[in-house]
Amino acid sequence: MTTLNTRAVHAGRDDLVELGVHAVPLDLSTTYPSRDSRTEADRLDVLCTGAQVDGPPVYARVGNPTVARFETAMAELEGCEAAVAFASGMAGLSACLLAGVSAGKPHVVAVRPLYGSSDHLIASGLLGNEVTFARPDEVAGAIRDDTGLVIVETPANPTLSETNLRRLSDACGPVPLLADNTFATPALQRPAEHGARIVLHSATKFLGGHGDVLGGVVACDEEYARKLRQLRFLTGATLHPLAGYLLLRGLSTLPLRMRAASETAAELAARLSEHPRVAKVHYPGRNEHRPEKQMTGGGPMLAVEVHGDPHAVIGAVRLFTPAVSLGSVDSLIQHPGSLSHHIMDPADRADGGISEQLLRISVGLEDVEDLWADLDQALGGSSTA
């Protein structure tokens, strides 16, 4: 079997030589003409159920050839039967929640912390779901007859805490486990290999990798994918073809970007742990009790709890981009309590271990010495008591 590096370059592109092209074709069609309306009606009846059929997709809300290439690639990289792309990660999560509600399984068990908007959506009940928040060792006891989903994010946003997926999957029993793999990506972790049935990504982040595309994707088995395609068709939460093109292009460099950024993040975490203005460093690579054989390395994300005013640090950086989001080639820093997790109730943030002193850092591809110099001066200098 080829390595992940090779699969990342070739996945979704296997037929290009036969097509006589080198770059992936970009199909921007919104509709697909046919003079045989009887056949098209029959095909549409099948497509509306979420099943796949040969031939063009009839209408862009049903599917798109460029987006389908990205889906094929993500299914291969995550080791799943299928993948379904959405307009954003939140659209993908919404489809998963609606799948449970429509099947008469509206109850969700969720492990905090999660991305702030994910937490808010699940807790709000806007899509007709109910939720019980539980620690990993409490999940089995929280599952009910109407539980349709268990949700976890590992490494977690923004504390970088890790959850043992195999152990959690065993606790779920027959209930599907959804693992948000946005922070690790399949370059560092493949949740399906550890028992997760559903793997969610905000593709906007590391999969795209350049801060210029919005999207989401869910990797899963074909049975679950059919339900998600049906929901996507009916709700219109489709990924734009240009976004699919950019995301597929981003995958080709994903392993290299993740490896390089992870090396820098590990070095920054080590230095920050010695900084007098830093009270605590959150970084998977520094955790002595990590799940074995689950994630490769520590990843490109880290977080620090600082002494003093965290907002002063945000205002003082010059090389880091002070902005929400993550996963770009340039390094970003933000205050979760004010941005990515601001939508949550303060008590819920505290329940998830999200301190008001916490800063989340997404490490990019800049030189480690330049990044360190910027963090050091923003923190007030390593010699400052």
CA distances from 49 to 58, 65, 234 (A): 14, 18, 10
CA dist., res. 8 & res. 234, Å (int): 31
Residue 180 appears among annotated catalytic residues: yes
Residue 61 appears among annotated catalytic residues: yes
Residue 205 appears among annotated catalytic residues: yes
Considering 13, 69, 112, 180, which one is annotated as catalytic?
180
Token readout for 37 is 């309306």
Fill in the amino acid letter for 45.
Answer: D
Residue of 302, 301, 310, 303 lying closest to 356 (CA atoms): 310
Integer-rounded Cα radius of gyration of the chain = 21
Token readout for 335 is 């205050």
Token readout for 124 is 């709000």
Considering 115, 224, 245, 283, which one is annotated as catalytic?
115
Considering 7, 32, 59, 61, which one is annotated as catalytic?
61
Phi, psi of 157 (to 5 degrees): -100, 120
Considering 205, 229, 349, 360, which one is annotated as catalytic?
205
Residue 105 appears among annotated catalytic residues: no
Token readout for 374 is 């910027």
User: Are the C-beta atoms of 353 and 248 separated by less than 8 Å?
Assistant: no
Token readout for 254 is 């994903």
25 by DSSP, 3-state: which? coil
> How many residues belong to the chain?
385
For the beta carbon of residue 328, count every other beta carbon within 10 angstroms: 22
Catalytic residues, which ones?
Answer: 61, 115, 180, 205
